[in-house]
Amino acid sequence: MNRSLCGPGQGIICSLCRRTGYCINKHSLHHICAQIRVEAILYTLVREASTPLPCPFHGAYRFRYNENSGGFCENEASQIRQCASDAHFRFLFRPCAGVDYSFNKDVDFQCVATWKAGSDTYLYGKFSGDDVHDKDDAYRCFMYETLGSLVQLAVSADATCRGLRSPSDGPLVMELTRDASSEVAPSCVFPRWLTRSTWRDLAGRHVYSTDASGEVFSVALSGSPKRVTNSYRCVDMRTGNTSQTLALSSASDDCQVRYQCIKIIRRHRNVLEIHKGRYVDSASEVCSQQGLATASVHTIIPTRLASARCPYIGKYLMEPGRSTCKVDVVSGCDDVAHISIVSSCVPRPVGHLECLQTWTEDNRKYVIARRLRNGSPGTGANCFSFEHKGGTLRFTLDRLCNHGAPSIFNGAFRYTLQDQPEACDVMTTTRTIYETPKKKERAPQTKYIRNLKVKDYNETKPGEDAGKNASYSSCGDHTIRRITASLWYIHATAIVLLFACR
């Protein structure tokens, strides 16, 4: 390391994380750091729970390597594969006949840190694989240099950065050459209605996002945005409009690049449906109907989605059946964004839902909702549907819309309700929900009209602008007018009494 790093305010970093000397008492920090000699032992500290960062070089490479054997092992099969995450790639080492210390192994590498010391650039990372048995085998330090399409690497023999004299002089030396034939560069952009937001699946397990260019669509584990599991590069936009898009993509999954067709259907501005076709090696027939016949389907919604007005308001009674318990589905009575399922046999509601988004399609009303427990929302959500049929209203967990997302309720969720609701027992607060802005999302705003809270709620059909806000009252506008008139009457009576007292 460059000893000039030991300056005022940096001495602790130099003495603890770089090199250490003998103990010296009663001297300034700058003086103590100046006593550390170049030949002092170098210590390397690694934060194990570190966040991966983008590697300094990307794409596919072929390489030759020399591990103190006196000559390079040059095998065309030795290569570096790009992975879904730009912080991760895979080394494929292949042996050479007649070269000592050549080997056959596949190891994954994750970039942890990069820094520069003088004119030298360093990379520190972690290997994983069947041949990596402990932490000493996992962590390695690199000194590297990029010269156009050529990258020179010197790799340390252990978890420290000792023994690296230059990018071409170290315990293990590698020369990487860019392999453009193994790369598939993006050549189109995903639609704006997909790239405008960050999305999540209904289970809350994965997060979907695009890069700044809109060319790469990535899937990461929820809660760990750097843990990318899949990456789709837009190669050819087959069809695209305001309601759906069909794109040929270069998919990176488990560090293997293959072609995959993805079809994205816009059910609503805040509800998308993704169909992922099977992986193929050829791009010619990847987007055929046969390729999409066995596609996996996922419903995704924005990661930050405010509550929305539920599709119905009132108390719906369950059709008489064998059960002796009386079951009611109370929608929008205590809160126009809540649905409660109440049974006469249980003191507390059987289920309590918070509506997140509603839309109408093929004479059905759909709602994305999550379960509330003790007033707190859960992580998972489901897609439900309401359908009028034979004088009844059927309220079910919609299998075709839910697409395999785990149910937030135990057992089957299916209620056949009487078509005509009863009025709410308690007046519902009238509210208005504002749609989340396109660029910056924010929580619903609350306005106050006298002593009544007012929020805006809206419901839109596919293709309609969700920014049009409308105000609803579950008990009717006439109730609001009657209460307002009563307040004015009380106010006027108080004024008359005041003058009478005087």
- 221 and 296 belong to one structural domain: yes
Residue 486 inside a domain? The answer is yes
For the residues 239-247, what does the mean pLDDT come to?
Answer: 76
Handedness of CA 225, 230, 235, 241 (dihedral sign): negative
Q: What angle do CA 251, 187, 260 make, to 5 degrees?
A: 25
- 220 and 74 belong to one structural domain: no
pLDDT of residue 168 exceeding 80, the answer is: yes
- Displacement of CA 65 from its chain's centroid (Å): 38
pLDDT digits (tens, 9 = 90+) for 14-65: 333 345 555 666 677 888 788 788 777 777 788 887 888 899 988 899 999 9
Query: Model pTM?
Result: 0.71
Residue range(s) defining the domain that contains residue 80: 61-182
Instruction: Say what the pLDDT of residue 324 is.
Output: 76
- 91 and 75 belong to one structural domain: yes
**φ/ψ bin of 317: left (φ > 0), alpha (ψ from -120 to 50), beta (otherwise):** beta
Domain boundary among 302, 326, 350: 302
Considering only residues 434 and 306, tell me which one the structure prediction assigns the higher pLDDT: 306
Lowest mean pLDDT among 84-88, 118-122, 253-257: 253-257
Considering only residues 486 and 300, tell me which one the structure prediction assigns the higher pLDDT: 300
Q: How many domains does the chain have?
A: 4
pLDDT digits (tens, 9 = 90+) for 134-166: 888 899 999 999 998 899 999 999 998 888 999
pLDDT of residue 169 exceeding 70, the answer is: yes
Q: Where in 309-451 does DSSP place strands (E)?
A: 314-317, 327-331, 338-343, 351-361, 364-373, 376-389, 392-397, 414-418, 447-449
pLDDT digits (tens, 9 = 90+) for 297-349: 999 999 988 899 999 999 999 877 766 788 889 999 989 999 999 888 877 77
Lowest mean pLDDT among 274-278, 359-363, 395-399: 274-278
Instruction: Say what the pLDDT of residue 483 is.
Output: 54
- 26 and 66 belong to one structural domain: no
Q: What does the DSSP assignment read for 213-238?
A: TS-EEEEEETT-TT-EEEEEEEEEEE
Considering only residues 400 and 496, tell me which one the structure prediction assigns the higher pLDDT: 400
pLDDT digits (tens, 9 = 90+) for 387-432: 998 889 999 999 989 998 999 988 788 899 998 888 887 544 444 4
Identify the CATH number of the domain in which residue 272 sits.
Answer: 2.40.128
- 405 and 262 belong to one structural domain: no
Distance CA 208, CA 112 (A): 23
Determine contact, residues 205/221, Cβ cutoff 8 Å. yes
Domain boundary among 302, 327, 346: 302
Query: Which stretches of 232-310 are DSSP H helices?
Result: 289-293
Instruction: Say what the pLDDT of residue 484 is.
Output: 53
- 25 and 123 belong to one structural domain: no
